[in-house]
């Protein structure tokens, strides 16, 4: 009798366990899976972002985020192909200069009503928040921001007995230091001059600092900035083959000790430390002594793709945009959060990051226009022609301007 009672209890326990397991499974199945695409290129940034996704997934009872990593070089193509094939993700990381173009294509969700009362939305600098907008509607939120300064190899300067650059330097000082640090072993200065958005991005701080207006490349400012680069190639202070270098390849050249100075963003602070490089960071030079200077905002927006899972995508976006979380993320990947709170945050006041933060008031976003890719092609064309020696600086600027003018029509 007792054995029968024990068996009955065991059987009922198994049934109940099965029932509860079924409930748990049903709860797990009730979570909506959403897809997020990004193009973080380093293993460290990929792992760190996945940690945030895992943390979110563990605390959400509605949404499960699945991440797909795509190469940056293929990302725009994949978005375009995905739009045509109706196979887009629910969230996508998009370069801040491209967000408006995808919004105009109609593939991004208007999230204005949902985000305009978020504290994070109200905190961002208008300059960077505008990159998320198209026709006064919001289609994403900043994920991280950066800008460009000059990073130099202290060991090369020390070896050659040359003084380090300082924040009050000028274009002429840059050229002089490039000459002094050019030897049989080293080139004094280098940029990413490849025919892509990267060269436009690297050129704009010099162009704007010279007084340029973005849509007027063929100008005195354009000639000043492009001549500076072209002259350093002609005189041997800058490698001619930098017109084929991506920013990653430029960084590799610096890590290999081949270059004394180069244009680079804050995202390489930790990788350079990991290579035991003895380096310094200085603001971009001014065109003339005491003149104004400018640099360019880079970074990515996290955008909601138009589709059926908007509510779930917004849940993750709002969670990620909490200041403590987004600023921790930005610091972890050597970027910054583009708001006053971050500028005053001591976490961003390290020796290496400070020059980038100090230039935030002088940072500008690329023009928020739907035809920006075509404008950028004008810059790329001028840079290629002038640095390769195919055309004079004057002709290169005229050719680039023709492409910009055509883009505006």
Taking the C-alpha atoms of residue 91 and residue 387, their distance in angstroms, rounded to an integer, is: 39
- Taking only the tens place, the pLDDT of each residue in 246-286 is 999 999 999 999 999 999 999 999 999 999 999 999 999 99
pLDDT score, position 278:
98
At 44 the pLDDT is 86
Question: What is the rounded distance in angstroms from the CA atom of residue 332 to the CA atom of residue 327?
Answer: 8
Which DSSP symbol is given to 303? E
Q: In 161-209, which residue ranges form alpha helices assigned H by DSSP?
A: 171-180, 197-209
Q: Are 378 and 361 in contact (CB under 8 A)?
A: no
**Do the strands 259-265 and 187-190 form a parallel or antiparallel pair, or are they unpaired?**
parallel
Per-residue pLDDT reduced to its tens digit, 83-141? 888 899 999 999 999 999 999 999 999 999 999 999 999 999 999 999 999 999 999 99
Question: Token match 């600086």: residue?
Answer: 393
Domains contained in the chain, CATH given: 26-146+299-364 (3.40.190.10), 147-296+368-408 (3.40.190.10)
Supply the pLDDT for residue 9.
37
Cα separation, 249 vs 62, in Å, equals 42
Collapsing DSSP to helix, strand or coil, 360 comes out as: helix
133-134 and 140-153 as β-strands: parallel, antiparallel, unpaired? Answer: unpaired
Q: Pull the structure tokens for residue 188.
A: 């004094």
Give the pLDDT confidence score for residue 380 in this predicted structure: 98
Q: Is the pLDDT confidence value at 143 over 50?
A: yes
Cα(39)–Cα(180) distance, rounded to whole angstroms?
Answer: 38
**58 has a pLDDT exceeding 70:** yes
**Helix extents (H) in 217-339:** 220-234, 247-255, 269-274, 310-320, 323-332
How many other CB atoms sit within 10 Å of the CB of residue 35? 18
The whole-angstrom separation of Cα 226 and Cα 119 is 42
Average pLDDT over all residues of the chain:
92
8 Å CB contact between 320 and 302: yes
Q: Kindly report which listed range (51-65, 272-286, 340-354) carries the lowest average pLDDT score.
A: 340-354
Residue 10 has pLDDT above 70, yes or no: no
- Placement of tokens 């180069």 in the chain: 262
Measure the N-to-C terminal CA separation of the chain; round to a whole number of Å.
93
Question: What is the pLDDT, as a whole number, of residue 22?
Answer: 45
- Summarised one tens digit per residue, pLDDT across range 298-340 is 999 999 999 889 999 999 999 999 999 999 999 999 999 999 9
**Residue 146: what are its φ and ψ, rounded to 5°?**
-150, 170
The percent of residues above 90 in pLDDT, for the chain, comes to 88
Distance CA 91, CA 80 (A): 14
pTM: 0.89
pLDDT classification of 4: cutoffs 50, 70, 90: very low
pLDDT at 175: 98
The answer to whether 44 and 270 are in contact (CB under 8 A) is yes
Q: Are 131 and 99 in contact (CB under 8 A)?
A: yes
Number of CB atoms found within 10 A of residue 67's CB: 17
Largest CA distance in the chain: 104
SS3 call for 132:
helix
pLDDT of residue 29: 63
Is 17's pLDDT higher than 50?
no
Q: What is the pLDDT of residue 242?
A: 97
Residue 240 CA to residue 333 CA, distance in Å, equals: 31
pLDDT of residue 12: 43
Between CA 273 and CA 309 the distance in angstroms is: 41
Q: What phi and psi values does residue 354 have, to the nearest 5 degrees? A: -55, -45
pLDDT at 8 over 50: no
Is residue 379 scored above 90 in pLDDT? yes
Mean pLDDT of 139-152: 97
In 3D space, the residue among 387, 395, 326 whose CA is nearest the CA of residue 203 turns out to be: 387
At 86 the pLDDT is 87
pLDDT (0 to 100) of residue 23 = 43
Task: Using DSSP, state whether 120 is helix, strand or coil.
Answer: helix
pLDDT at site 280: 97
- pLDDT, position 252: 96
Higher pLDDT, 80 or 230: 230
């Amino acid at each position: 009798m007792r054995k029968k009672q024990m068996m009955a209890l065991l059987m009922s326990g198994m049934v109940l366990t099965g029932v509860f397991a079924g409930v748990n499974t049903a709860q797990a199945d009730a979570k909506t899976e959403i897809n997020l695409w990004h193009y973080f290129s380093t293993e460290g940034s990929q792992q760190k972002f996945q940690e945030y996704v895992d943390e979110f997934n563990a605390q959400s009872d509605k949404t499960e985020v699945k991440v797909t990593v795509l190469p940056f070089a293929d990302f725009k193509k994949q978005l375009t192909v995905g739009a045509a094939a109706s196979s887009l993700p629910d969230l996508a990381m998009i370069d801040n200069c491209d967000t408006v173009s995808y919004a105009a294509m109609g593939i991004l969700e208007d999230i204005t009503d949902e985000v305009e009362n978020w504290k994070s939305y109200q905190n961002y600098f208008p300059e960077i928040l505008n990159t998320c907008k198209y026709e006064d509607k919001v289609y994403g939120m900043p994920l991280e921001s950066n800008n460009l300064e000059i990073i130099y190899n202290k060991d090369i300067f020390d070896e050659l007995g040359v003084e380090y650059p300082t924040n009050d330097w000028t274009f002429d000082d840059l050229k002089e230091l490039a000459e002094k640090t050019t030897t049989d072993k080293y080139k004094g200065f280098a940029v990413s001059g490849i025919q892509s958005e990267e060269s436009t991005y690297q050129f704009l701080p010099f162009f704007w600092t010279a007084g340029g207006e973005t849509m007027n490349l063929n100008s005195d400012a354009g000639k000043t900035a492009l001549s500076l680069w072209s002259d350093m190639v002609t005189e041997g202070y800058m490698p001619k083959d930098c017109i084929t270098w991506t920013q990653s390849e430029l960084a590799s050249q610096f890590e290999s000790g081949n270059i004394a100075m180069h244009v680079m963003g804050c995202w390489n602070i930790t990788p350079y430390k990991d290579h035991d490089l003895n380096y310094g960071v200085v603001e971009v030079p001014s065109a003339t002594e005491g003149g104004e200077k400018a640099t360019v905002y880079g970074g990515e927006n996290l955008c909601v793709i138009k589709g059926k899972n908007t509510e779930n995508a917004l849940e993750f976006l709002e969670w990620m945009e909490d200041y403590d979380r987004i600023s921790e993320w930005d610091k972890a990947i050597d970027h910054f959060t583009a708001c006053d709170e971050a500028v005053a945050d001591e976490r961003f006041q390290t020796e290496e990051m400070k020059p980038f933060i100090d230039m935030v008031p002088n940072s500008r976003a690329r023009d928020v226009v739907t035809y920006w890719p075509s404008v950028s092609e004008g810059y790329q064309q001028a840079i290629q022609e002038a640095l390769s020696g195919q055309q004079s600086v004057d002709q290169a600027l005229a050719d680039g301007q023709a492409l910009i003018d055509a883009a505006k029509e």
